[in-house]
Amino acid sequence: MRARDFVLRLIFIAALLAVWEALVRVLDVPAYLLPTPSAIGRALVRGITSGLYEEHVGVTISETLLGFVVGTLGGLLLGTAVALSRRFDYFIYPIIVMFQAMPKVALAPLIIVWFGLGITSKVVNAGLVCFFPLMINTIVGLRSAEEDRVSLMRSLAASPLQIFWMLRVPNALPYIFAGLEIAMIFALIGAIVGEFVGAEAGLGMLIQSMNFSMDVAGQFSVLLILSVIGLVLNSLVAVVRRRALFWDPSSREGGGRTRLPAPRQQEAL
Amino acid sequence: MDGTETVLTGREAIAVRHLGKHFGGAGSVVTALSDIDFTIHEGEFVVVVGPSGCGKSTLLRILAGLLPQSEGEALLHGTPITGPRRDIGVVFQSPVLFPWRSVLGNAMLPVDVQRLGREKLRTRAFDLLKLVGLDGFEHRYPWELSGGMQQRVALVRALIHDPALLLMDEPFGALDAMTREAMNVELQRIWMERRKTILFITHSIGEAVYLADRVLVMTPRPGRILDSLTIDLPRPRGLDVMNTEGFGAYVRRIRVALNATGGLD
């Protein structure tokens, strides 16, 4: 049954590509508007075999991963501070929300000025973009511990620190992992936008330069690579999540990848 | 906590004196509990029965140290209860198990919180899980268990650190009628084996009479103890005790007392 579904899916995709190819050829669409799938395939093979893509892929992935680490660490720390300290919540949180209301990609030109054309500016950009979803999910997660569970811990004479580590942190993990999955994709977006604005290397820069030379097939081939990178990075987080959150309903069902965990209660099964 | 489980019937375990609790303030004060007085002796099984909203859960939360009283005092072995204490075990209405901990892990939660001897109490956890019929389930997770089994884990968790007092807040209220009866039989068996002092709260008159050495009847608005009734039925009580004349007489007497005050709607 599953094997048949898989084959059907492949056939469907192949059919779509065939229709695309046929339409472009029959309607004689110019290559600088929409290339045929076969032309995109040739561009992809050429880029890979010539070693052109290799360096740029490496740069973009490094920027994304470094930005992800920096941004999510920041989001975790600030989120924890906001969730735990009423004072922090009162003074810092409004500022962070105000900052979030501004589209971070609009900051990219400034960040290039401040941090240069190299990798640092892209890491900063990626970090900024993926910081917020993680901070919000950390706050919500840490605050979502059920009243009953807190009462139980208190009735055992648990210290606030014990309630934090033994209840609030594990309780927040489903939220944090949902945030991490979003943050990974956001970091890739941040890195690419940074490269658009100004860079010496990277897939975003490559798209820009191909755009200038009207190499549309080349651009499509890079887009293809980008979606594969996004998929792989996202699956990496998803795999870790399923391992760490074996007890969470969202992992047990096996389905839905980036679903935000709903406010849960422990009902009798 | 001295680890012994000797029966010292007759000594005072809990003494509640003129206990009162008010909620709110400035104009709209709700009196949840008023002038509550009772004593529980060591090894005694006392059940508080009353309609919902009569303040019985509030009473339990005060005894668990989760809520401060407004007036009066509650003593456990002569010392006032001013906050959560390690020599009290609580079983709540829902099992409140942590899904990231196994059955054994949940049972051991008090041990981890109170940093007690892990090795020794691990053996005790296995024994207690066996006592409630959960041997073989030690490494399962809460979501793999039925509601009744989950509540048994909660019971083991409340017993693991050998508390002097067990507080139970309608622990079987969420279970279906048949599971509930089975749990009552089991609780009686465990109590007869371990002789803990138990304060059990319920709104089921039948459950109260079945389980209790003594029933405290509570009425709402404000919550007061209306009557204290010693249940003189031989133990161990089978479920068929509920069909006896004596059982029926106790149930009727409690029902009449509650009806007289408009306690039952």
pLDDT computed for residue A44 by the predictor: 92
Average pLDDT, whole number, for chain A? 88
Structure tokens at A150: 């807190």
Is B158 at the interface with chain A, CB within 8 A?
no
Grouping H, G, I as helix, E, B as strand and the rest as coil, residue B93 is coil
- A10 lies in the same domain as A134: no
- A5 lies in the same domain as A115: no
Closest-CA distance, B114 to chain A, in angstroms, reads 7
- A5 lies in the same domain as A113: no
Is A35 a member of any domain?
A: no
Domains in chain B: ranges and CATH: 1-10+43-70+80-87+163-265 (3.40.50.300), 98-155 (no CATH)
pLDDT-based confidence at A13, cuts 50/70/90?
very high
Is A260 a member of any domain?
A: no
- pLDDT tens profile B30-39: 888 888 899 9
Contact B93, B170 (CB under 8 A): yes
Is A161 a member of any domain?
A: yes
pLDDT computed for residue B262 by the predictor: 60
Tell me if B83 and A155 make a contact (CB, 8 A cut-off).
Answer: no
Q: In chain B, pLDDT over 70 holds for what percent of residues?
A: 94
What is the tally of structural domains in chain A? 2
The model carries a pTM of 0.81
- Residues of A with Cβ-Cβ distance to B90 under 8 angstroms: 152, 155
- pLDDT tens profile B148-206: 899 999 999 998 988 889 999 999 888 888 888 888 998 898 888 888 899 999 999 99
- A97 lies in the same domain as A16: no
A30: exposed, middle or buried (Cβ count in 10 Å: 0-12, 13-18, 19+): exposed
Q: Is the bond preceding residue A261 a cis peptide, omega within 30 degrees?
A: no
Angstrom CA distances, B226 to A114, B256, B258, stand at 76, 12, 8
Comparing CA positions, the residue from B85, B112, B88, B84 lying closest to residue B98 is B112
- A162 lies in the same domain as A65: yes
Q: Which residue on chain B is closest to A266 by alpha carbon?
A: B96
Tell me if B146 and A268 make a contact (CB, 8 A cut-off).
Answer: yes
- A4 lies in the same domain as A66: no
User: What residues does A256 pair with on adjacent strands?
Assistant: none
**Parallel, antiparallel or unpaired: strands B165-169 and B197-202:** parallel
CA atoms within 13 A on the CB side of B28: 1
- Residues of A with Cβ-Cβ distance to B83 under 8 angstroms: 157
Residue A191's domain spans which residues?
Answer: 42-252
pLDDT computed for residue A257 by the predictor: 40
Is A269 a member of any domain?
A: no
Is A176 a member of any domain?
A: yes
Best residue in A144, A147, A156, A168 for a mutation probing chain B (most B CBs within 10 Å): A156
- A58 lies in the same domain as A106: yes
Best residue in A150, A151, A155 for a mutation probing chain B (most B CBs within 10 Å): A155
pLDDT-based confidence at A252, cuts 50/70/90?
low
Q: Which residue on chain B is closest to A267 by alpha carbon?
A: B94
Inter-chain CB pairs, A–B, below 8 Å:
73
- pLDDT tens profile B81-121: 888 888 889 999 899 999 999 999 999 999 999 888 888 89
- pLDDT tens profile A237-251: 999 998 889 888 877
For the cut 70, the answer to whether the pLDDT of residue B67 exceeds it is: yes
Is A228 a member of any domain?
A: yes
| Residues of chain A in Cβ contact (below 8 Å) with chain B | 146, 148-149, 151-158, 162, 166-167, 170, 173, 247-249, 252, 266-269
- A18 lies in the same domain as A96: no
The CATH number that applies at residue A86 is 1.10.3720.10
Is A266 a member of any domain?
A: no
**CA B195, CA A18: separation in Å to the nearest integer?**
79
Question: Mean pLDDT across the stretch A65-93?
Answer: 92
Is A118 a member of any domain?
A: yes
User: What residues does B88 pair with on adjacent strands?
Assistant: B165
- What ipTM goes with this model? 0.84
- A9 lies in the same domain as A138: no
Contact A92, A152 (CB under 8 A): no
Is B65 at the interface with chain A, CB within 8 A?
yes
- Residues of A with Cβ-Cβ distance to B95 under 8 angstroms: 266, 268
